[in-house]
Amino acid sequence: MQMSQQQLSYRKRIDRVVNYIYDHLDEPIDLQLLADVACMSPYHWHRVYRAIQGETIAATVKRLRLHRAAGQLAQSKISIEEISERSGYSSLAAFSRAFTQTYGQPPAQYRRAGAHVKLQAAIEQGEGHLYPVEIKTIEPMTMIGLPHQGSYMHIGRAFDLVFGWVGQAGLLPRLNHSMATYYDDPDSVPEPELRSFAGAVFDGDVEMPDHFEKRTIEGGRYAVLHYRGAYAEMPDAYRWLYGTWLNNQGVELRDAPCVEDYLNNPREVAPADLLTDIYMPLAED
């Protein structure tokens, strides 16, 4: 389905808003300012945003800030007070209430005893059955989407742009997979240089915007880890897959990047209920 020039205009305006939000998460998000960014009437632009993005501006900002906060709690030593302030909350109590509502635990408890802590302990003990893993062979797939450079935790910026287009173009009924390819090891490549790609796989050919790209997911043999939980805790699942599961299997890796297949929508389910298949490429037997 080809979008009209007016639809393209609205799409570009909302894309500017999405990029602005990601670039200014540490700052107050002013609705009037966002209307200026969108070059639209303050009486109407937020309705256009909700219709195209599928959630309100407030929901987007809260989701992104708490997602980042969860990653900082799980993977850094930044104080909870600073994380709260960066997340735009007027008090630590307000931040704690919002975080608990979304992640099921207060921030301090999440840092001290969240799923990532249990997973790290299990990795140290060499636990070999933390996640179900199956070996399967897939056919090549073509993704349409956008590249992302920087923290893998922020690839949602590219996905928000991709799925804004998918929804506006009426392509959701033809969407088969929401997938991402990760080209670098975050433990060895500086965060600003990490390369990834956020894409969608469709049933049949679709016409894509001029600035979008196509990438091919190689066919072949993969170890597929079935992951359930918050994206913020996923780095430890990778460490278990590479450090424990792989060492116990007697299989060889193939020279191809890892791929993630997202099976549900972070706008619709709690972080603990997110489902992701992690594809690790294997050499043929």
CATH of the domain at 173: 3.20.80.10
Distance (Å, rounded) from C-alpha 162 to C-alpha 167?
9
One-letter amino acid at 92 equals L
Do 92 and 166 lie in one domain? The reply is no
Task: Work out the mean pLDDT of the chain and round it to a whole number.
Answer: 89
Please compute the mean of the pLDDT values over residues 169-184 and round it to a whole number.
Answer: 94
Domain with 175 in it: 133-281
Statement: residue 165 has pLDDT above 80 = yes
Share of the chain above pLDDT 90, in %: 54
| Residue 69 domain flag | yes
| Residue 10 domain flag | yes
Do 147 and 49 lie in one domain? The reply is no
- CATH number, domain of 91, equals 1.10.10.60
Report yes or no: 158 and 148 within 8 Å, Cβ to Cβ: yes
Last residue of a domain, one of 112, 144, 169: 112
Report yes or no: 42 and 34 within 8 Å, Cβ to Cβ: no
Closest-CA residue to 171 (of 210, 205, 139)? 205
| Residue 243 domain flag | yes
Which pLDDT value is given to residue 8? Answer: 62
Do 33 and 154 lie in one domain? The reply is no
Do 97 and 171 lie in one domain? The reply is no
Distance (Å, rounded) from C-alpha 253 to C-alpha 180?
19
Structure tokens at 12: 């570009």
Distance (Å, rounded) from C-alpha 48 to C-alpha 155?
23
Which pLDDT value is given to residue 1? Answer: 47
Q: pLDDT band for 7, please (50, 70, 90 cuts).
A: low
pTM of this prediction? 0.81
